[in-house]
Structure 1
Amino acid sequence: MTEIRTETLPLTDGSELRLTVGEPESAVRGGLVVLHEARGVTDAVRDMARSLAAEGWLAVVPHLYHRDGADELDESEGEERLRDQVNRLSGESVLADTDASFVWLSGRGVKDDQMGVVGYGLGGSVAMVVAASRTLGAAVTIGGGGILSPVSDGLPSLVHVAGELTCPWLGIYTEADPRISAEEVEKLREAAERSEMATNVVRYPEPVDPVLDRARNAEDAWQRTLNWFDSHLR
Structure 2
Amino acid sequence: MTDPDNPLRRDFLRGAGAAGFALAVQPVLAQQVISTPDAGLRTGVSTVAAMDGQTLPLFYARPDRSGQPPVVLVVSEIFGVHEHVRDICRRFAHAGYLAVAPELFFRQGDPSAMDNVQQILERVIARVPDAQVMADLDRCVDWAQGEGGDVARLHVTGYCWGGRITWLYAAHRPSLRSGVAWYGRLRGNASTLTPTHPMNLTEQLQAPVLGLYGGQDAGIPNADVEAMNAALAASASPAARASHIVLYPDAQHAFHADYRPSYRAADAADAWRRCLEWMNSRGGA
Question: More displaced, 33-42 or 78-87?
Answer: 78-87
The answer to whether residue 154 in structure 2 is matched with residue 115 in structure 1 is yes
- Between the aligned residues of both structures, percent identity stands at 29
> Within 5 A, what are the aligned runs for 1:1-234?
1-2=37-38, 4-26=43-65, 27-70=67-110, 72-74=111-113, 77-84=115-122, 85-135=124-174, 136-145=176-185, 147-150=186-189, 154-155=193-194, 156-193=196-233, 194=235, 195-197=237-239, 198-205=242-249, 206-207=251-252, 209-212=255-258, 213=263, 215-234=265-284
User: Aligned-residue CA RMSD in angstroms?
Assistant: 2.0
Q: Which one-letter code corresponds to 2:184 in the other structure?
A: G
Q: Which one-letter code corresponds to 2:154 in the other structure?
A: M
CA deviation string 1:134-154 (max 9, x = no partner): 110111100101x12159752
> Which stretches in structure 2 are left out of the alignment for 5+ residues?
1-36
> How many aligned residue pairs are there?
231
After the TM superposition, which parts of structure 1 deviate over 3 Å for at least 4 consecutive aligned residues? 26-29, 109-113, 150-153, 207-211
Closer/same/farther in 2, CA of residues 183 and 29 from structure 1, 3 Å limit? same
Q: Which one-letter code corresponds to 1:88 in the other structure?
A: R
Instruction: Indicate if the aligned counterparts of 1:28 and 1:56 stay in contact, CA closer than 8 A.
Output: no
Please state whether the residue corresponding to 1:47 is helix, strand or coil.
Answer: helix
Measure, in 2, the Cα distance between the counterparts of 1:25 and 1:57: 11
Q: Which one-letter code corresponds to 1:79 in the other structure?
A: V
CA deviation string 1:168-214 (max 9, x = no partner): 21011001211111110111112233132111210002246435135
Give the alignment's TM-score, normalised by structure 2: 0.75
Give the alignment's TM-score, normalised by structure 1: 0.91
Measure, in 2, the Cα distance between the counterparts of 1:176 and 1:43: 26
> Which stretches in structure 1 are left out of the alignment for 5+ residues?
none
CA deviation string 1:39-95 (max 9, x = no partner): 11122111111111111100001111121253x434x52232121211111121101
